[in-house]
Chains A and B, each alone.
Chain A
């Protein structure tokens, strides 16, 4: 049983693919722990996916992974985001109370990691709580983008994606939101992830879709009114339409494929949809919605 070193690739969904590439190795080798000493920055999407890795490990082996040599700033951030409150990892390091980030309104440019349950009634209650907290903190979180209409649209996006967790994934999931500065860019990111059955399995019974590659299927669910459940609702297509209006970007990953739709690049008339199949397999569905500006 080894301790596996994580690369400094936790900055965004694309770089985190290098960590996902280690997932099977972590499980198969029954790794003892993860060494985070090289990690200099971790974004909300990477934080949630790391949580999924830990949870999958716990479910498959019955043991918790231990996080080793966590840099102080990463530990501060993880504690502030309630990362350890979900009791998924063991942590070698502790952080004295006075070194922990304070929970004042001024530091509320985020929504801590919240678990979205897999059962409808509980999930609706939690989604309600998530939305209420987001509305309360929206002015701080969306400081540079804030309009009431934008908050309304983002509430719709959050509720649509979170509902998919209990409607389709057959598992629980997590949400986290944060705005931050990275390389002189203002970034607002919503991350919503689960490790359930994934989008390809949700549409398995639809013969016209079965033949598609997984990445093409992800593109179809984002761009075509298609629902495995609803008569008229078609949540993900609507999410994409809203993000297009807001000139944001969507990264959607499921199983061994991902799609990235960069609406903010559309005006430049360049490519703005990127598909990738044959990625390392990782169970469930992972979303990252980003506004840059």
Chain B
């Protein structure tokens, strides 16, 4: 599913002609609109949030729109995945800053379509090992526990633990097989 956030924003009076998404108010409204679209989701679907036409966002918007969306992707009964595409440097920076904060031991990671300034295709609270795994998946499209074990020089069980953690944060996709993980 592709959600063009610019199009969605045109239905909100204050952002009708704007290239910027700001305030908690706008964030809440857009989250509600996105939620309505998510009713038609299928299991394991990737939801692409297309930021084409959006120049900047602020922390309040991310806090009210992107963070709840990531929370929903992690807790929804049928799993789904979020990917941000066509983001500007500003959007990258603000999203990374906001979701990069760990809070009550809750972590969020969001995938993007570009190599970000942190050297990874994902933003948020990511360790160096997790970055390596994500980049491996991005390059090879998928990874098994054996692949990651040999990449990181750890046991298969350790590798699976790392991959499962990333799956729980919806940074990699796992459909049926507990040993095969795919890029988003």
Contacts and interface: CB of A to CB of B under 8 A. Distances in A.
Contacts of B63: 230-233
Contact of B103 (A120, A135, A152, A232): A232
B98 A233 contact: yes
B25 A124 contact: yes
B90 interface: yes
A163 B17 CA distance: 20
B180 to A, nearest CB: 32
A131 B20 contact: yes
A232 B67 contact: yes
Contact of A128 (B15, B60, B62, B93): B15
A233 B59 contact: yes
A253 B17 CA distance: 34
Interface in B1-60: 13-15, 17-20, 22-26, 55-60
Interface in A125-142: 125, 127-128, 131-132, 135
By DSSP majority rule, is chain A's interface helix, strand, loop, or mixed? helix
Given A153-B90, A232-B98, A159 B22 contact: yes
B59 A128 contact: no
B101 interface: yes
- Chain B interface residue bracket vs A: 20 to 34
A231 B58 contact: no
Instruction: State the majority secondary structure of interface residues on B.
Output: helix
A250 to B, nearest CB: 16
Contacts of B98: 232-234, 238
A17 interface: no
A interface residue count range (under 10 / 10 to 19 / 20 to 34 / 35 or more): 20 to 34
B24 A163 contact: yes
B97 interface: yes
Given A125-B14, A241-B97, A152 B56 contact: yes
Contacts of A148: 55
Given A127-B22, A131-B22, A156 B57 contact: yes
B55 A152 contact: yes
Given A131-B20, A155-B55, A230-B63, A238 B15 contact: no
Interface of B: 13-15, 17-20, 22-26, 55-60, 62-63, 67, 88-90, 93-94, 97-99, 101, 103
9 contacts: A135-B20, A152-B20, A152-B56, A152-B90, A156-B57, A159-B58, A230-B24, A230-B63, A232-B63
